[in-house]
Structure 1
């Protein structure tokens, strides 16, 4: 299987698969908690698949690829290969999803400064609410972003 074929196969990954499984296993009383967990799953799936694609496309080892998890390093690594990561549709969505995941894990789902007013119903210092709405919005955007990143990587090897 050629590098280009591997990247095309990665592009076809549905990032929400495990997140949707979390939601399917939940009941109404656990709804918001399930959406919170689904956001974490979505972020993890995005990061893992992006890492695989970047390792393949740029020939990075696992140590080098770990840096791709951080926005500044991600931008730099892509720029080394003449790809403007920040210009790819949805780059901001990836950052927002990452901030949300960090806030859920480390800040007990309190809206941080970076997330203030990202959604009209989120205010800094208050608990995050309406995870279902946030999930629905981010799900589509992150999938589009992921596919656009893969398009750029595939084009690099065309």
Structure 2
């Protein structure tokens, strides 16, 4: 499993892998000097969390199916942002983790990188839209995307 860390000296995010004989690391992203540390640390933590979920999915392929993978990619690019202080959770660890990485990139991007849009909006595609005949999960319905 890959873990991610912020290397302050090299101003980079690095990926670290245990090999059994020690660890190896590689820079995966440069961090601009004007970036502040807290959002970069949150990004490294979120990336490690996503890596952990993907590793578990690799070891147990039944955990993640194609729909989850597609929704996770969407979450990386267009993460749900809090609306009136409320953050929507999808109930799928892979998708939720991908949204977390997307938000972390956006938070760091707002300060340093061009990243996901920082506009605050309702969750993408109104997931429980009456238009497609779905109901909320609390009512036993399935999401409609």
TM-score band w.r.t. shorter chain: 0.3 to 0.5
**TM-score between the two structures when normalised by the length of structure 1:** 0.31
Q: Considering fraction of residues, name the structure with more helix.
A: 1
**TM-score between the two structures when normalised by the length of structure 2:** 0.33
Q: Which has the larger radius of gyration?
A: 2
Structure of greater relative contact order (alpha carbons < 8 Å, 6+ residues apart)? 1
Q: Considering fraction of residues, name the structure with more strand.
A: 2
